[in-house]
Amino acid sequence: MKISTLLYNFKQGLKNIWRNKMFSLASVATMAACIFLFGIFYSIGVNFEDMVKEAEEGVAVTVFFNSDATDEQIAAVGEQIKSRSEVAKYNFVSSEEAWDQYKDIYFQGNEEAAASFEGDNPLAGHENYEIYLADVSKQDELVSFLEGLDGVREVKHSEVAANTLSDFNKLLTLISGFVVAILISVAVFLISNTVTVGISIRKEEIAIMKLIGAKDSFVRAPFIVEGVIIGLVGSAIPLIALWFLYGGIVRYVADKFEFLSDMVSFVSVKDVFHVLVPVSLALGVGIGYLGSRFTLRKHLKV
Amino acid sequence: MIRLENVSKSYQAGVPALNDVNLEISPGEFVFVVGASGSGKSTLIKLLLAELRPTKGKIIINGKDLKSIKHKMIPKFRRNIGVVFQDFRLLADRNVYENVAFAMKVVEASNKEIKRKVPMMLSMVGLAAKYRSLPKQLSGGEQQRVAIARALVNEPKILLADEPTGNLDNKNAWEIMKLLDEINQRGTTVVVVTHNMEIVKAMNKRVITIKKGVVISDEEGEEA
């Protein structure tokens, strides 16, 4: 398509929007509501995911060894742990380090009592691997794997914490997906209605175009432009609103609820919008494009 | 050239709108197609514009067989056929210039070309001075002139006119017929569907008469 034709179709698309202002406005408003809700769900989701991730990092699996386990066996277990994809990081804690940690925690301020164990490590044979998970839902799988390795005496883990976090994460993803799917359907339906009205208003013009020899793409283009512009405006408005709203809420919580901000840390506005802006714009434009394309196929036998 | 070979067209399971029609219209001819309402004239126009496909037979226009023409080739085919209707079909929200330019926009002509050709066409139909008028500010005859300018601006080889004088008084009807004759003199094949027998007789051109979907006569004018 020539540049002059593109410009012409762009102008016609704008004219379409202006001609049925009320429907266009309703579509922009619905699209804006959809993207706004999507943005809210996304912001909550991304913050929750961040909290879950932080909590997950605190969930550790500890592997203890038989008293007769050789250094080679312990090193081999270490290699096996390293090869697992669900493992974020792992540390080897020797029995001396384990005793030092224990002393730091339980003999703080009572160093004399600890000194009485001098030369005699009560945690001898307690060398272990501390494993931190990247994906807490795979904890059970990892535990069974570790229990089957040579030299392993015991694998300690917190099943409840892992399962709860993993289930909650799944539930949140499911709910968000469901709500977003409904919103997208509503937006597609409304844009489709707007384009249908546009087609009925321009019925005569379309008939003339076809008789004169307009290509299908030429007839369709203004309606596609209309849908895409509605999608674009409908996603840009809530993004601006969310930018101020999210920043405002984060600042408000930090100011007014200090105890809460000590417990949880919010994802920064920039980090949230780094993903939210392209995804929302793509959603808006995509819904606008698909909504008009779908309607054109149905109502415009070009 | 337009050629119809044993063309029939039926809508669902009814009486055929056209039945075994054979016709040949040579390049540069001026032909009237006459017949009462429901005789099949409109079906013939729709078939010639590839709006409908024949149920039986062959339609060949400018070397293209319309029965097998692909959907995406239809726009290109239609660019060689200008069409004028009884009700003018102008865009009410655009002025005379824009209505004619619209036909060129549709075929993706350049702005330079549009600026060159539209005033020429408007001069030819005698409306150069009214280029900024909206259709509602023009008489019926003037509106039909705009429609003719729009149909011709892309230089089609064939002009189809479906009852072009149906909405006009006698004076305007004659002016439009004279204009169509002039266009024909310049080499465009003109096919006029009408039931204004007074004009048909006075013009002395070839007349094809259709009755109940069948060509019952095909007479050359004295001029031919």
Give the model's confidence band at B138: pLDDT under 50 very low, under 70 low, under 90 confident, else very high.
very high
Residue of chain B nearest A302, judged by CA positions = B71
When the pLDDT of each residue in chain A is averaged and rounded to a whole number, the result is: 82
Contact A146, A152 (CB under 8 A): yes
Q: Give this complex's ipTM.
A: 0.81
Give the model's confidence band at A162: pLDDT under 50 very low, under 70 low, under 90 confident, else very high.
low
Tell me which of A247 and B158 has the higher pLDDT.
B158
- Number of Cβ atoms within 10 Å of the Cβ of A258: 10
B110 contact residues in A (CB cutoff 8 A)? 2, 4
Q: For residue A44, give its domain range.
A: 3-55+163-299
Task: Verify whether the Cβ–Cβ distance B108 to A208 is below 8 Å.
Answer: no
Query: What is the mean predicted confidence (pLDDT) over B152-165?
Result: 93
Residue of chain A nearest B151, judged by CA positions = A212
When the pLDDT of each residue in chain B is averaged and rounded to a whole number, the result is: 91
Do A30 and A120 fall within a single domain? no
Among A130, A157, A184, the domain boundary falls at A157
pLDDT for residue A272 is more than 50: yes
How confident is the model over A60-103, as pLDDT tens digits? 788 988 878 888 888 898 998 888 888 888 888 888 888 887 77
Do A66 and A151 fall within a single domain? yes
Give the model's confidence band at B214: pLDDT under 50 very low, under 70 low, under 90 confident, else very high.
very high
Do A173 and A232 fall within a single domain? yes
Among A126, A157, A188, the domain boundary falls at A157
Do A43 and A64 fall within a single domain? no
Which of A1, A206, A208 to probe the B interface (max B CBs under 10 A)? A208
pLDDT for residue B224 is more than 50: no
Tell me which of A51 and A288 has the higher pLDDT.
A288
Contact A254, A9 (CB under 8 A): no
Do A200 and A263 fall within a single domain? yes
Query: What is the mean predicted confidence (pLDDT) over B80-99?
Result: 91
Which two tokens mark A145?
């794997």
Do A64 and A181 fall within a single domain? no
Do A194 and A254 fall within a single domain? yes
Say how many domains are in chain A: 2
Among A118, A134, A157, the domain boundary falls at A157
How confident is the model over A218-239, as pLDDT tens digits? 888 888 998 899 999 999 999 9
Do A134 and A68 fall within a single domain? yes
pLDDT for residue A160 is more than 50: yes
Do A51 and A118 fall within a single domain? no
Of A8, A204, A210, the CB nearest to B105: A8
Do A86 and A50 fall within a single domain? no
How confident is the model over B110-120, as pLDDT tens digits? 889 999 999 99
Residue with tokens 């080889």: B157
Of B76, B83, B111, the CB nearest to A211: B83
Give the model's confidence band at B126: pLDDT under 50 very low, under 70 low, under 90 confident, else very high.
very high
Cα–Cα distances (Å) from A117 to A47, A93, A113, in that order, read 47, 19, 8
A8 contact residues in B (CB cutoff 8 A)? 105
Do A197 and A81 fall within a single domain? no
Residue of chain A nearest B80, judged by CA positions = A213
pLDDT at A159: 65
Do A115 and A174 fall within a single domain? no
Tell me which of A234 and A299 has the higher pLDDT.
A234
- The CB-based long-range contact list for A4-10 (8 Å cut-off, 24+ gap) reads A4/B108, A4/B110, A4/B111, A5/A218, A5/B105, A5/B108, A6/A221, A8/B105, A9/A218, A9/A221, A9/A222, A9/A225, A10/A225
pLDDT for residue B61 is more than 90: yes
Relative to beta strand A60-65, strand A152-156 is antiparallel
Tell me which of A264 and B2 has the higher pLDDT.
B2
B72 contact residues in A (CB cutoff 8 A)? 215-216
CB interface of A with B, residues 160-219, below 8 Å: 204-205, 207-216, 218
Query: Is A26 an 8 Å CB contact of chain B?
Result: no
pLDDT at A151: 86
pLDDT for residue B97 is more than 70: yes
Q: Buried b vs exposed e over A35-62: b needs ≥16 C-beta within 10 Å?
A: bbebbbbbbebbbbebbbeeebeebbbe
